[in-house]
Structure 1
Amino acid sequence: MLRIDPLQSVTFPICRGKGKLKDEAESYSDFRTESKITMNYKNNKEPKFLPGFDLSSLFDKWGDLDIDTLFIGYFGKVPSRYSYQEVDMEAFHLDFPKRFQDYILGYHFKKESKNSDFKNDFVYVLDKEILVIQDSDEIYILFQNETCELLSDIIDFTKKLIIEEKNKSSINLIISQPRGLDNKKINFKNPEIDLSKMYNDDFETFHNQIIQILGEENKSGLHLLYGKPGTGKSTYIRYLCGLLKKEIVFLPGQMAQNLDNVAMIRYLIGNANSILVIEDAEELIVSREGQRNSNLSMILNITDGILGESLGIQIIATFNTDVRNIDPALKRKGRLKSAYEFKALPGIKATTLIKEQGLDYNVNEAMTLAEIFNITEENPYKAPDRKAVGFK
């Protein structure tokens, strides 16, 4: 979030003004030209911290400004929060202080970028106990009264600036924040896929099945996508992201080893009715001579247990190992909603895809998608020559 040097910022230098904006500052950009000012009061009303509030508590061990603590320091209440991504930050930066100038009591800011002011971070302190944080790529709105008319106006203003990009999808990456685990939305271009050409003949039946199940609201369950590397598992998941209306969360392998962690459980509770994607999940789901680790038990609970009934989270797990190695409990009816083995394409399908790239190749053996779309590239890895040991 906002990385500010506590030694420079806890004193909060003040610039006072009367009326709306200063008389000599007709534009917002002029209003904040003094880069040394980190707090500006206006409208003859000064927001003040509560008596005895410890300013040093505003910063975590990394020097980040904790906006929840800032809210408590000003208003003495625990805030609720809305957050918005994909907002036109330049338009927000220019229009927000004009649109709400009668309600802005002051602001904190962190200036790092010399050329693009809208890429800097701002914390606006508003009337009606509201904080609006303009981060470099996200807008946070902290508030207490959900029925406040000013809050509704701010939300409507922000939503109108959300950029809707066509032919793009997103997936949430779990990141660690000072206050716990949170989502970071990652955008990517929708892959152009002809299922009948890029996958085997039985795939469309599976596709129609998994789309229907994943689209069901508040339903738990497990989906297993497996097969040798390069057969299109990850590409297909990206394709699914463009079709589904639910939030899809990518769980990195290291975090997947901590599914039973208290912070992870809190995160899952806050992301109910979503789809959790665990790639290369062998370490979690392979049977270990009758022993079951706590993370596997957590997957069982999420997909068909008390947590599953409460959260409605579905899990897509991909792996390369033989499906016979998977813990039998994961393959139980009621828990396992769908499964598909991704295989190399037969020579006829492979040749068709190769020729569509403008290449004149005829192949007779089965090929993976990775091999097909990189057929002209040489493998940069060459096995070292092995010296013979022994007698000739």
Structure 2
Amino acid sequence: MSREYTLPDLTDIFDYSNGWFSDTSIGSLFYQTFKHFPSMRKVKYKINRSFVEAIKELYQQESSFDLIDHTYYNYFDNEEQEDDEERSETPNKELYDCILFCKDNLLISYFDECVRIAYADISEEEIFHILHICEDHKKDCEQLNNLFIVTFAHNYFSLKQSHVNKTSIKIDLHYNEDFSPVATEIEKFLMEDNKSGLVILHGKQGTGKTTYIRHLINIGKKKMIYMGGDLVDKLSDPSFITFIRQQKNSILIVEDCEELLTSRNGSNRMNAGLVNILNISDGLLSDELCIKFICTFNAPLKDMDQALLRKGRLAARYEFKELATEKVNKLIQEEGLDIPEQKTPLTLAEIYNYDDMDFSLGRSRVGF
């Protein structure tokens, strides 16, 4: 068929958040084409490209059938190449997106291996048949953790599923004696349903904070959302509340947030990002969202904002320090590490990288 379509900004057509394939744009395109407001169904699992061929076979005889597709090639950031020459010799991965105008009042988009169905005056039986086709072409589940990474683009927050390696840490062996009861309380708190709150983990680099977070991700059954230090300032963005309301009963890990949590230094105005955290973890929004925060940073916490210290607000706070000398030697003995007996505390990083060169400036290596 011959038909003209008015597109959004061409630079955004294939963007995840604001582009042609977003719910809003699909709905707008549907109304523009069929002059009806659509109902929407979104298939939340990945679909193989063979789904498109199955839909074409089902509807291509319809007089109003039309297909707009886009094939392109790209590398992914997590692909490791040793140099540019090797990279250029490696085949690109093919990506494919399309919109199918199946018949009057029925439009299907296929983007990022996910399907959206927009329709009006279409029987439930027909919609269920399309959903059954989706099931037939469902992509095999990837072996991923329950970890998601927050991204921010075009003033829009989104999530990308990620992977984290398993750990074999033993709390009683790899951490100081005072951490064991705190760890028990943290893990119990994180597993509770219908509860919000805040956990603060801080201390110098190499003391095991990240390893412990990795441990929590692997043992947890809840959705874990990681927000890197480069996005901490976005916690004050007005769209953050809209985003986080879609993540009910999840655990948000915020890294490098010392400045966010420190005192106002004489100012009466609280950091807007901290206001959002307090409202979500212990304010009016906490009853609705049931979101737990784990905030981490590397420096000692000298001036925590007093608003955080109110009784009942903090579920736990712990400062990670070097492993005590007796614990260091116990770890060396139990794991059979080729390290001489130590006479001073060491961080876990210093223990497990004992023979590596030390590139720090003006510092003698501990243990030598």
TM-score, normalisation: structure 2: 0.76
CA distance in 2, matches of 1:181, 1:154: 31
Amino acid at match of 1:343: K
Quote the residue 1:66 is aligned against: 20
CA distance in 2, matches of 1:280, 1:307: 24
Secondary structure of 1:376's aligned partner: coil
Greater relative contact order, per chain length (Cα 8 Å cut-off, separation 6+): 2
Task: State yes or no: 1:222 paired with 2:198.
Answer: yes
Contact 1:71 1:142 in 2 (8 A): no
| Match for residue 53 of structure 2 among 91, 94, 97 | 97
Quote the residue 2:277 is aligned against: 299
Moved more, 176-185 or 221-230: 176-185
Quote the residue 2:96 is aligned against: 121
Contact 2:146 2:221 in 1 (8 A): no
Relative to structure 1, is the Cα distance of residues 319 and 360 closer, same or farther in structure 2, using a 3 angstrom cutoff? closer
Kindly state the Cα deviation for residue 200 of structure 1 after the two structures are TM-superposed.
Answer: 2.1
Contact 1:72 1:79 in 2 (8 A): no
Kindly state the Cα deviation for residue 276 of structure 1 after the two structures are TM-superposed.
Answer: 1.2
Quote the residue 1:376 is aligned against: 355
Relative to structure 1, is the Cα distance of residues 66 and 196 closer, same or farther in structure 2, using a 3 angstrom cutoff? same
Task: State yes or no: 1:133 paired with 2:110.
Answer: yes
Moved more, 275-284 or 93-102: 93-102
Relative to structure 1, is the Cα distance of residues 201 and 112 closer, same or farther in structure 2, using a 3 angstrom cutoff? same
Relative to structure 1, is the Cα distance of residues 48 and 194 closer, same or farther in structure 2, using a 3 angstrom cutoff? farther
Task: Give the aligned CA root-mean-square deviation in angstroms.
Answer: 3.2
CA distance in 2, matches of 1:345, 1:294: 36
Quote the residue 1:109 is aligned against: 69
CA distance in 1, matches of 2:302, 2:342: 31
CA distance in 2, matches of 1:179, 1:101: 39
Contact 1:222 1:336 in 2 (8 A): yes
TM-score, normalisation: structure 1: 0.72
Quote the residue 1:347 is aligned against: 325
Secondary structure of 1:258's aligned partner: helix
Task: State yes or no: 1:334 paired with 2:312.
Answer: yes
Task: State yes or no: 1:252 paired with 2:228.
Answer: yes
Quote the residue 1:149 is aligned against: 128
Secondary structure of 2:172's aligned partner: helix
Contact 1:71 1:131 in 2 (8 A): no
Q: Which portions of structure 1, spanning 4 or more consecutive aligned residues, are displaced by more than 6 angstroms?
A: 114-118
Relative to structure 1, is the Cα distance of residues 240 and 82 closer, same or farther in structure 2, using a 3 angstrom cutoff? farther
Amino acid at match of 1:373: Y
Task: State yes or no: 1:204 paired with 2:173.
Answer: no
Contact 1:353 1:372 in 2 (8 A): no
Contact 1:281 1:318 in 2 (8 A): yes
Amino acid at match of 1:375: Y
Contact 1:75 1:129 in 2 (8 A): no
Secondary structure of 1:325's aligned partner: coil
| Match for residue 359 of structure 1 among 300, 323, 338 | 338
Task: Kindly report which structure 2 residues correspond to 1:251-270, keeping only aligned pairs within 5 A, or say none.
Answer: 251-270=227-246
Number of residue pairs aligned between Structure 1 and Structure 2: 326
Percent identity of paired positions between Structure 1 and Structure 2: 28
